[in-house]
Structure 1
């Protein structure tokens, strides 16, 4: 199997962390690709051109973190990533991540092309979700499931790629969880590069 990823993508990072946590990395060749590039190495495999993209041994192509993580559970890793109790938290964290991604994309546009309404909407959504997650009393796990991995990658994205959001303010429980997850080898090995935003 091949996994196409971009080092700055929190979505691809979640799959890369999951492969390491579940002991499945030896079965997957990771291949970095560019994005929004007509010469991207992922395009012959996926016309979508996004990451993560997982190419199975039979040539089947899976894109999207929300599809790849459940597939990994079918491979017999060290433990299940998506027990039923995790699904609600996964949905919330994916919403948080989507809000940050849209907000970040707006901030990368030239100032005269930015939509203040979109930025305000996504800022509100991101803070609302973070406040909800904080109130849930999230704690650092011994073995991170998909929701924990997604949360660590989302907050890691905020730390290194979307620094416009001061997420630690008012979220001490999330900060403790993130700081614990960030020390795991799987998170250290997949650390995204710093961005100017």
Structure 2
């Protein structure tokens, strides 16, 4: 199997972390690729051109973090990412990935030339992202999101969301007023799986 990824993508990073936490990495070749590029090495396998894309032995290409993480659970790894029947885990994963998607939209707007940015989109996604982060802070402060050993899919995704904010979306001062979430992130970021997949710093 081959996993196509971009080092700056939090969606792809979540799968890369999961491969390391489950012990499945030796069975998968990681292939860094370019995005929004007509010459991307990903396009012959996935014309959508999105990462992460996991190409199976028969050529089937799975796209989207929300699909790949449950698939990894079928491969007999060292731990499960989404325990069967755990609706809370599914709900948490969906909420984190939804927040990640909104932050990515916000980030893309900030990367446009100033005259092409949509203030309305930026304001909407900033409010949405902060609202979600405030809810996560309240949950972490009351004992929620305790770190499993190893972390499950929602916790991996949340670590990647905050890691993206830390290094790729620094326009958002997410730590301000969120001490519990900050401490939570510092703990999960110290895991070897996260240390091995740190995204490059962006100018945003």
Residues 1-30 of structure 1 deviation map (CA, whole Å, 9 limit, x = unaligned): 000000000000000000000000010000
What is the CA distance between 1:142 and its match in structure 2? 2.5
Residue 161 of structure 1 is matched in structure 2 by: 168
What is the CA distance between 1:61 and its match in structure 2? 0.7
Residue 184 of structure 1 is matched in structure 2 by: 191
The runs of 5 or more residues in structure 1 that have no matched partner are none
**Aligned-partner Cα distance in 2 for 1:38–1:92:** 32
**Aligned-partner Cα distance in 1 for 2:54–2:99:** 23
The runs of 5 or more residues in structure 2 that have no matched partner are none
**Aligned-partner Cα distance in 2 for 1:21–1:174:** 21
What is the CA distance between 1:31 and its match in structure 2? 0.4
What is the CA distance between 1:135 and its match in structure 2? 1.4
Q: Say yes or no: does 1:41 pair with 2:41.
A: yes
**Aligned-partner Cα distance in 2 for 1:157–1:43:** 25
What is the CA distance between 1:195 and its match in structure 2? 0.1
Corresponding residue to 1:114 among 96, 117, 120: 117
Conserved 8 A contact 1:3-1:54: yes
**Matched positions, count:** 197
Residue 124 of structure 1 is matched in structure 2 by: 127
TM-score of the two chains, using structure 2 as the length reference: 0.95
Conserved 8 A contact 1:62-1:68: yes
**Aligned-partner Cα distance in 1 for 2:158–2:147:** 11
Corresponding residue to 1:90 among 90, 93, 113: 93
Residues 139-166 of structure 1 deviation map (CA, whole Å, 9 limit, x = unaligned): 3333200000000000000000000001
Residue 16 of structure 1 is matched in structure 2 by: 16
Q: Say yes or no: does 1:150 pair with 2:141.
A: no
